[in-house]
Structure 1
Amino acid sequence: MSDDDDFMQDSDQEDYDFEYEDDDEEQGGDVNIENKYYNAKQMKIDNPEEAVDEFLAVPGLEPEKGDWGFKGLKQAIKLEFQLKRYVQAVEHYRELLTYVKSAVTRNYSEKSINNMLDYIEKTAEDDAANSCIEKFYHYTLESFQSTNNERLWLKTNIKMARLWFAQKNYQELADKLRELHKACQKEDGTDDPSKGTLSLEVYALEIQMYAETRNNKRLKVLYQRALRVKSAVPHPKIMGIIRECGGKMHMSEENWKEAQSDFFESFRNYDEAGSLQRIQVLKYLVLTTMLMRSDINPFDSQETKPYKNDPRIAAMTNLVDAYQRDDIHEYEKILQDNKDLLADPFIAENIDEVTRNMRTKAVLKLVAPYTRFTLAFISKQLKISLPEVQDILGLLIVDKKLRGKIDQQSGTVEVESNTDTDRVNAVREWSSAIGALWVTVLHEGDGFRSEEGSGYLGGGYVTPNQPGKASNGVGTRMRPGGKAKGYSGKQPGVGSR
């Protein structure tokens, strides 16, 4: 489904084609009426103003209201909306609604009206258009209230609620959502399984409203409730919206893992729906990966890999690459060259935490060789302000990641170096380890054995400076015949035989 398709549709495949939506329908009526209608269709692209007049003339040629008049009014209304003739469009739409009770079948009228409302919703560009759309919704509800067409009533009310959400008219929206929730429930107040899909659409709108107004407490309740709805087969874009709002909710709680999971599911659903919002959510997924301080590249998965080289996502791809390489200069350059990234309030709000993490790691790496340095030195090297340098160093000292003191008056930092003490302690530990090894070899090992293997060197061991004994400074074992063998150069603890 393309990006222009309405996400608030059920599983039925509906025809949104503007040019040919009526071509395959059964044709009837007078040949002159038919010819006039198709002649008007030929004029739509090149001369829409004259086409409107031709379409409006079609109903007058019918002796009584019928299919051709209904079709002619539909086409005229769409063109009038395109030409921004909103007053005339509303007037002719009210005339169109008089056909639905007798001139055309219920299913055909419902489908046509729904398509009409979808069309004007997607082509609205200004406040005047939105005002016109609101009148369309009002007259639709008024017309179908008496026909007991609950399905169309619910769909039109959802469209009305979506319009109020776009206008940030939260008071009207909240009242409408309560009415819609009630309509999707049974008499005992429980959710009606037969209206599960419509119910999820209502949940999606309400979740969006609470996400925008930052009411996380209410958002969490609705989010969990929406995920428990099992009786629906929702359009994937609905689930994309619900998961996206859930990811933002988890981000506000600094629950990076759950946020990452929700953004991935949101991206997957948007991608399935063919929605352009998938690109923005993919950026959120990359942002969350950096906040998690994860070394896993978010573009390694099968679903996201095709977008790795997408020019719309290139800035975020380069950003996460610089982040994982701890390249602060490249990271800052990417942000500087892609200011459009910060146009999204959600990214702008959360990228500061990533930037701070990057700068903190860069400060630690930069000052590692020094025992004394100035704040101005750090500021110049990393191209950040002095107050931020001081703030980062203060946090590092508090967290005991840097042992030192800041002299605010002189703007210097003295690092407490324990290098000499550490070296002495290391040598002492090394000497103790060697001594322990020597004791173990002499007392618990095999020691030195005689060549004949008759046991430890003992009574026959000769020490230097004794008369008649070997005096080479190395203990020897006398062999038969008075000859002695030295053991110089042998490693202690290795028996000689």
Structure 2
Amino acid sequence: MSDDDDFMQDSDAEQYDFEYEDDDDAETGDVDIENKYYNAKQLKLDNPEDAVGEFLGVPDLEPEKGDWGFKGLKQAIKLEFALGRYDDAVTHYKELLTYVKSAVTRNYSEKSINNMLDYIEKVATEQTAYKCMEEFYSLTLDTFQATNNERLALKTNLKLAKLYLDKKDYNQLTNKVREIHQACQKEDGTDDPGKGTYSLEAYALEIQMYAEMKNNKRLKSLYQKALTVRSAVPHPKVQGIIRECGGKMHMSEENWKEAQSDFFESFKNYDEAGSMQRIQVLKYLVLTTMLMKSDINPFDSQETMPYRSDPRISAMTDLVDAYQRDDIHQYESILKGNQDLLTDPFIAENIDEVSRNMRTKAVLKLIAPYTRFTLKFISKHIKIPVSEVQDILGVLIVDKKLQAKINQEDGTVLVETGAGDTQHLSRLRDWTSAADSLWMTVLNDGDGFKPEDGQGAGSFGGMINFPMGLETGNSIPSRGPGRGGARRGGNARGGGKLLVQPV
């Protein structure tokens, strides 16, 4: 039956007048409360202090605790917290919690309280707010544990654990996370599949803690556990946090490939969650690409391509471009002009390794044509201190990438050429052997031409004879003098053929 049908059936004039007067009184009361509430909302932006008073006046207009009083207290508490009136906020929050038992529905109260806790977590920008937040969380736990609202209790415990992480109160955080894990287990001690999301969020907090403590052994164990949780459907931001910490862990172990994979996954999750942390993680991804000495541009993927020209990471894109082109001067110029990059401790810690790789490549490229040079010569061209030049050359010599001796008294470097000559002769011998094999194949297998009897195998070696003396290492091939010597000597064995002799 419709509302119109009800109205037509109750058409008795006297009854109609009586009901109309009752409805009018109730409606008038509600209108006054509603007007006061919305009037307070209009004051929020221009005069928040007066708005607090108006909101606090709403509950007094209700004969019994109801929705409007609950709404008025909520708005007043949020404003008090934002204004730094923390003691008042706690006082009125205690009053608000008295509404959740009977004045408002369970679902509405749970949603409202959870939103309020999210709000104060977001608004808190100073440590003085931490004490107030801790009181909010404790009061919430006392209230909702008493009503057996396990879901909101778990959410509040996670927020409290996050607060301990922000305060770097690791003892309290450890105890709280242990409590959360126990709450996410069944009576037999096995994990409860229905609470996997909360368990994974607890792992994320622990992982962040051990990452800050630089306890890689414990971090790795928790990281691997977190990746095995399959029953959870976590917020992408949680996955982003876990992957970011995993990437930093791999970086500390110089496992660049795994670090790159984790940072990429972290970026995708942060991007999906709409978190601004995606920009910072993208910088880490670029940093890892340079440490891998990869020629692949990290902005070539579909996910990262939209950020190629983002001004927030333009310095990193320019840096990786200079790195892949081996342009040491451009690289140093970008780094010097963007010192804000180093405000991130993780980038500051790892960029030195990239710079060292860059400078090492530049040194090797510069000294390639020389067998003797000075430390100052390299320092002047690459624009780095002499002490660092000496360190780089020392590492190259120890790693056997450069065979040289450094004279520290006069700052000169003498490159040893013996090893290079031996390698050159070895390559020449391989070339001669290959050419001889090719010659025999042509002569023996060709249909139109066969070698004369007696010429036999090794004929190409007979035509081009290199007495290289590799056993003694004293002979170096030379085209000019050797060719002239053959002509002057008139070697009969060669039969007019070209004979190349050593100098």
Q: CA deviation at 1:126?
A: 1.3
SS of 1:241's partner is helix
**Cα deviation, residue 426, structure 1:** 6.6
Gaps of 5+ in 2: 1-26, 455-503
Greater relative contact order structure (CA < 8 Å, 6+ sep): 1
Partner of 1:46: 46
What is the RMSD of the two structures over their aligned residues, measured on CA atoms? 2.5
Instruction: State the one-letter code of the partner of 1:86.
Output: Y
1:311 is aligned to 311
Classify 1:372/1:151 alpha carbon distance in 2 versus 1 (closer, same or farther; 3 Å). same
Q: Distance in 2 between matches of 1:144 and 1:428?
A: 85
Q: Deviation per CA, 1:242-266, whole angstroms, max 9, x where unpaired?
A: 1111111111111111111111000
Alpha-carbon separation, structure 2, partners of 1:259 and 1:423: 40
Pick closer, same or farther for the CA change 1:415–1:28 going to 2, 3 Å. farther
Q: Distance in 2 between matches of 1:434 and 1:125?
A: 77
Superposition pairs for residues 238-257 of structure 1, below 5 Å?
Answer: 238-257=238-257
- Relative to structure 1, the CA distance from residue 424 to residue 258 in structure 2 (aligned partners, 3 Å threshold; closer, same or farther) is closer
* Aligned counterparts of 2:385 and 2:391: Cα–Cα separation in 1: 10
Give runs of aligned pairs for residues 241-320 of structure 1, distance below 5 A.
241-320=241-320
Aligned to 2:467: none
Shift of 1:62: 1.4
Q: From the superposition, tell whether residues 29 and 447 of structure 1 become closer, same or farther in structure 2 (CA, over 3 Å).
A: same
| Cα deviation, residue 32, structure 1 | 1.4
Are residues 1:385 and 2:385 paired? yes
| Structure-2 residue corresponding to 1:98 | 98
1:219 match: 219
Would you say 1:336 and 2:340 are equivalent positions? no
Separation of aligned partners in 2, 1:457 and 1:350: 70
Q: How far does residue 456 in structure 1 lie from its aligned partner after superposition?
A: 8.3
Match of 2:131 in 1: 131
Distance 1:29 1:138, change over 3 A: farther
Post-superposition offset of 1:70: 0.8
SS class of match (2:58): helix
- Per the alignment, residue 113 of structure 2 pairs with 113
Offset at residue 437 of structure 1 (A): 6.5
Q: Deviations for 1:205-235, whole angstroms, at most 9, x for unmatched residues?
A: 1111111111111111111111111111111
Q: Distance in 2 between matches of 1:96 and 1:438?
A: 98
Measured after TM superposition, the shift of residue 30 of structure 1 is: 2.6
- Alpha-carbon distance between aligned partners in 2 of 1:435 and 1:69, rounded to the nearest angstrom: 101
Matched-pair contact (CA < 8 Å) for 1:223–1:242: yes
Residues in 2 aligned to 1:421 and 1:297: alpha-carbon distance in whole angstroms: 39
Match in the other structure for 1:481: none
The residue that corresponds to 1:179 in the other structure is 179
Structure 1 spans left out of the alignment, 5+ residues: 1-26, 450-454, 459-497
1:424 Cα offset (Å): 6.6
SS in structure 1 at match of 2:405: strand
- Give, in angstroms, the shift of residue 51 of structure 1: 1.1
Q: CA deviation at 1:278?
A: 0.3
How far apart in 2 are the matches of 1:98 and 1:432? Answer: 96
Structure 1 residues 433, 32: closer, same or farther in 2, change over 3 A? closer
Mapped contact 1:290–1:354 kept (Cα < 8 A) = yes
Q: Deviations over 1:72-99 (max 9, x none)?
A: 1111111111221111111111111111
Looking at structure 1, the residues matched to 345 and 53 of structure 2 have their Cα atoms a distance apart, in angstroms, of 46
Q: Aligned to 1:51, what secondary structure does the other structure show?
A: helix
Report the alpha carbon displacement of residue 308 of structure 1 after superposing the two structures with TM.
Answer: 0.3
Question: Greater shift after overlay, 432-441 or 375-384?
Answer: 432-441
Q: 1:426 to 1:267 in 2, by over 3 A?
A: closer
Partner of 1:170: 170
Aligned letter for 2:37? Y
Give the Cα–Cα distance (whole angstroms) in 2 for the partners of residues 72 and 426 of structure 1. Answer: 88
Structure 1 residues 28 and 355, CA gap change in structure 2 (3 angstroms): farther
Does the 8 Å contact 1:40/1:55 carry over to 2?
A: yes
Conserved in 2, the CA contact under 8 Å of 1:90 and 1:132? yes
- The DSSP-based 3-state class of the residue aligned with 1:251 is helix
Which secondary structure state, in structure 2, belongs to the residue aligned with residue 30 of structure 1? helix
Distance 1:155 1:425 in 2: 71
Q: For 1:68-87, what aligned pairs fall within 5 Å after superposition?
A: 68-87=68-87
Distance between the aligned counterparts of 2:98 and 2:442, measured in 1? 107
In structure 2, C-alpha distance between the alignment counterparts of 1:439 and 1:361, rounded to whole Å = 44
User: Cα distance 1:433–1:248, how it changes in 2: closer, same or farther (>3 A)?
Assistant: closer
CA–CA separation in structure 2 for the residues paired with 1:177 and 1:142: 18
Q: How far off is 1:443 after superposition?
A: 7.0
Partner of 2:62: 62
2:32 match = 32
Whose helix fraction is larger, Structure 1's or Structure 2's? 2
When residues 371 and 81 of structure 1 are mapped into structure 2, their CA distance, relative to the original with a 3 A threshold, is same
Secondary structure of 1:137 counterpart: helix
Asked if the contact 1:207–1:245 (Cα under 8 Å) also holds between the matched residues in 2, the reply is: yes
In the alignment, is the contact (CA less than 8 A) between 1:448 and 1:456 conserved in 2? no
How many Å separate the matches in 2 of 1:176 and 1:277? 26
For residue 402 of structure 1, give the secondary structure of its aligned residue in structure 2.
coil
Q: C-alpha displacement at 1:417, in angstroms?
A: 2.2
Structure 2 vs 1, CA of residues 433 and 230 (structure 1 numbering), >3 Å: closer, same or farther?
closer
One-letter identity of the residue aligned with 1:88: D
Aligned-pair distance for 1:145? 2.2
Instruction: Determine helix, strand or coil for the equivalent of 1:413.
Output: strand
2:180 alignment partner, SS class: helix
Using the alignment, how far apart are the partners of 2:231 and 2:435 within structure 1? 73
